Amino acid sequence: MPALIEWDTSLIRRYDQAGPRYTSYPTETQFHEGIGVSELLAALDESRQARRPLSLYVHIPFCAHICYYCACNKVITKDRGRSLPYLERLEKEIEIISRHTGPQQRVEQLHLGGGTPTFLSHSELRRLMDCLRRHFKLAPGGDFSIEIDPREADWSTMGLLRELGFNHISLGVQDLDPEVERAVNRLQSLEETRAIVEAARTLEFRSVNIDLIYGLPKQTSESFARTVEEIIALQPDRLSIYNYVHLPERFKPQRRINATDLPSPAEKLSILHNSIEQVTAAGYQYVGMSHFALPDDELAIAQEEGRLEHNFQGYTPHGHCDLIGLGASAISQIGDLYSQNANDIEAYQNSLEEGRLPTTRGLRCNEDDRIRRTVIQQLICDFHLDFTSIEKQFDIVFREYFSATWPQLQSMARDKLINLTSKGIDVLPAGRLLVRSVCTLFDHYLEVQNGQRLSRII
């Protein structure tokens, strides 16, 4: 059934605490330098022997313009010549990694992120895809997606991407109000966005995703409602409405944002509430954690069929694949191993120039991590947790294993956030916006993370 949601202000006030985004469990904050190249290669070899399918993430860090809200790993430069040296090192990484994969391992999913992947020239994009196809077996009909800045693309770019095999696009829009755009240094017209969406429709891309951000400086409920209305009119297949997290002490570009221009907490809640009403009235289903999709979109269908998972690629029907991250800061998830490349582009390039993979840190899951990861995955993807399936998979008695958590679960049940029975947990419609709060009860490392500022749930 579609994941219905209900706005309950009292519940939001009670449970809107800080918590991880759970792109993984354990989260990236637990990564350590005890994981290096040898651990990564051993995991890849195990994956090859098991013939597990693959998902590739390729990080292109360059942007021509700085957006003040951005917390991505990026390099701001007008010098288009900087991409070639990076691409040459990236090709070396692809070649080295591919030695440890097998011909039976098909790549079901590919995603180019950044930065701005279309910072690369057309010839560089073609070169990159040729390299990937030489070294990996890209599955015919696989899900191949790319992030696009509409200011950095046109019809010819879209035609090239379709020719290269891309069939999903994700557009960064954030907000269409000129005053907000000036406050975050991202001047982008509705016409620019519409042109890319129309090109995607004409060229028969499978899906179009549009990202918006609420909580930006100068935003009001009225102005953001106009943005949402314009975006709904474009009929993207997927729509994400992210919470802006203002952490200028961690992300230098955010220091250019005047904190007094940020909407108040009450106004921010109003913006989100109105946006949810708008998109659900337009027929979008809530997938979870800021994501919405039309009922016939692959994500919505995967959720209804119980095939949806969540990882560093976001919500995906390809969670059964081993994820290989390529490029600076990219993260791999191969079986029970997480590994991450060097964040710094110079360190990344220097390592590959010397013939070494740039793995700098990571984590290997233990049995407790695996149990809790599975629990959290089921909650954020299905809004349902079946105790019997967990008990059979891990040979535990759920209530005994999580006895310390049980009183808190009972409290959430009394507050109508969840329905708790002897058989499982159902996250109720009023609790689905707060599902990360439920997940925190199963997070063994949360107290360790309390020294770091985490984003609020809402």
Q: What is the pLDDT of residues 356-390, one digit of tens each?
A: 999 999 999 999 999 999 999 999 999 999 999 99
Predicted pLDDT at 451: 47
Per-residue pLDDT averaged across 440-450, rounded?
79
pLDDT reading at 221 higher than 60? yes
When pLDDT is cut at 50, 70 and 90, the band that residue 452 belongs to is: low
The pLDDT, as a whole number, for residue 21 is: 87
Give me the percent of the chain exceeding a pLDDT of 70.
97
Q: What is the mean pLDDT of residues 413-442?
A: 96
Q: Do domains 1-25+366-458 and 27-324 have the same CATH topology?
A: no
Place of tokens 């790549």: 107
Q: Which among 155, 189, 165 has a CA at the least distance from the CA of 175? A: 189
Give CA–CA dist 361/96, Å, rounded: 18
- Position of tokens 């993984």? 24
Residue with tokens 């599975």: 374
Quick one: average pLDDT of 245-249? 91
Instruction: Answer whether residue 222 shows pLDDT above 50.
Output: yes
Angle between helices 83-98 and 345-353 (to 10 degrees): 60
Q: Region 23-29: what's the mean pLDDT?
A: 92
> What integer pLDDT is reported at residue 450 of this predicted model?
46
CA distance 430 to 418: 8
| Distance between CA atoms of residues 99 and 93, nearest Å | 10
Cα–Cα distances in angstroms (integers) from residue 94 to residues 84, 114, 129, 324, 353, in the given order: 15, 17, 11, 10, 13
Among 297, 327, 286, smallest CA distance to 432 is for 286
Specify the pLDDT at position 19: 84
How many CA atoms, within 13 angstroms, populate the side-chain half-sphere of residue 439? 31
Question: Any idea where the domains of the chain sit in the sequence?
Answer: 1-25+366-458, 27-324
For residue range 274-324, list pLDDT tens digits in order: 999 999 999 999 999 999 999 999 999 999 999 999 988 889 999 899 999
H/E run at residue 241: strand 238-243
Q: What is the pLDDT of residues 181-209, one digit of tens each?
A: 999 999 999 999 999 999 999 999 999 99
Token code pair at residue 89:
């090192």
pLDDT of residue 246: 92
pLDDT digits (tens, 9 = 90+) for 249-279: 989 999 999 999 999 999 999 999 999 999 9
100 has a pLDDT exceeding 60: yes
Tell me the three state secondary structure of residue 206: coil
pLDDT score for 453: 54
Between 10-19, 194-203, 325-334, the lowest mean confidence (pLDDT) is in 10-19
| Residue owning tokens 């070639």 | 84
Dihedral (CA of 340, 342, 348, 352) sign: negative
Contact 136, 91 (CB under 8 A): no
Domain 27-324 fold is pyruvate-formate lyase- activating enzyme (3.80.30)
pLDDT for residue 3 is more than 90: no
- Architecture of the structural domain at 1-25+366-458: Orthogonal Bundle (1.10)
Using a 10 angstrom Cβ sphere, with 0-12 exposed, 13-18 middle and 19 or more buried, the burial of residue 104 is: exposed
